[in-house]
Amino acid sequence: MTSPPAVDVKELVKRYPKAQVNAVDGISFDVAPGEIFGLLGPNGAGKSTTIGILTTRVRATSGSATVAGRDVIRDGVRARSAFAVVPQRSNLDRSLTPRQNLAFHAAYHGFSRAYRNARADELLEQFGLTEAANKKIDFYSGGMAQRLMIARAMMHEPAVLFLDEPTTGLDPQSRIFLWERVREMRDRGVTVVLTTHDMDEAAEMSDRVGIVDHGRLLALDTPEALTRRLTGQAVLELSVTPAPADDADKLIAALTDVDGVSRGEAVSAGAPALPPAALAALGGGSPPGPPGAPGTDEIKIRLYLDRAPAGLLGPVVAVLDARAATLANVHIGEPSLEDVFIDLTGRGLR
């Protein structure tokens, strides 16, 4: 028998007074027990409002939503004991020790002193904080504070954990440690709903990803399945300075006319210049001019290819030379979750 969803959202709508459009416009999705689910969307897409409804901070206009089988719209008080929220910014009580922060949270949920002490010991060890359990929180690093917030959230053994940008500002070692702990919680049956601006994190951590924009769910699948939706065998990223008489749109149009290029788009500022020898190895491209050379600002262009990139570098560089564009850098890669996101929303995650 299939277990009921840990999170179940049906036709959710949030309309603010005097707003021209709905902040959330009929979103439906479910999250399985023990799943890590990534919810992605640009600022203003409706992602935060959706999470606000699921965590009872925002009242829905219509639709239904349950977390761990509890109705978050009609019975928010009962639902709150079934989930926990870890915000992006620290909200630890700095007047308490780390151990006291954990114990106070469990006491709020009505657990006994014996349980609070045993559970605190367990989580402090799990998150590598035992030796710092009685230190002042002011001396905690960002990574330690984030680990403590997650440990605190788990004190009452919630069925669902909401994480908002959990690794923002953390060094790579702290980020990996946190990822490992989140996976451990997933393996123990905890459902995790993750919001992040880090596409690599979303792809690495999430079992499935939902992409939201303009209040609607645009796509929902595993990161691997989503990237397979993009046609093409590779992605070519060029850091280019167009000629003074040219512009990005015209240059991209010329590049997409190359046989084997299925689509192109400008995505961001370019990268530092390659040495002239490296550019020459690409097939005859001209080295970048000196600082202040004629041309507009450097841009990054992403080309989606429907054939192997090795045979396309020469024709692409030839188009750039013909239009007097300066090539500073080139990168060959596979389509990523970020590419899917930009393809669906027309903008980067920020």
Residue 302 tokens, joined: 């992403």
Question: Which of 13, 20, 21 has the alpha carbon at shortest distance from 61?
Answer: 13
pLDDT one-digit tens code per residue, 164-192: 989 888 889 999 999 999 999 999 999 99
Question: Which is more confident, 113 or 245?
Answer: 113
* % the chain with pLDDT above 70: 89
In which residue are the tokens 């909200």 written?
91
pLDDT at 335: 80
Q: Is the pLDDT of residue 290 over 60?
A: no
pLDDT at 311: 87
pLDDT at 247: 82
Give 347's pLDDT tier (boundaries 50, 70, 90): low
pTM: 0.77
Mean pLDDT of 306-319: 89
pLDDT at 293: 39
The backbone torsions φ and ψ at residue 164, rounded to the nearest 5 degrees and listed phi first, read -105, 110
Question: Which of 284, 302, 308, 171 has the alpha carbon at shortest distance from 233?
Answer: 308
Q: In whole numbers, what is the pLDDT of the chain averaged over residues?
A: 87
Mean pLDDT of 242-268: 88
Least confident of 113-122, 151-160, 306-315: 306-315
pLDDT one-digit tens code per residue, 72-130: 999 999 999 999 999 988 999 999 999 999 999 999 999 999 999 999 999 999 999 99
In which residue are the tokens 């090539």 written?
327
Tell me the domains of the chain and their CATH numbers. Answer: 7-227 (3.40.50.300), 231-334 (3.30.70.1340)
pLDDT at 284: 44
pLDDT one-digit tens code per residue, 229-238: 876 668 889 9
pLDDT at 198: 84
Q: Is the pLDDT of residue 277 over 50?
A: no
Give 245's pLDDT tier (boundaries 50, 70, 90): confident
Least confident of 20-24, 135-139, 198-202: 198-202
Mean pLDDT of 219-229: 91
CB under 8 Å to 159, separation ≥6 — which residues? 6, 33, 67, 68, 82, 83, 190, 191
In which residue are the tokens 């002490």 written?
117
Mean pLDDT of 286-306: 63
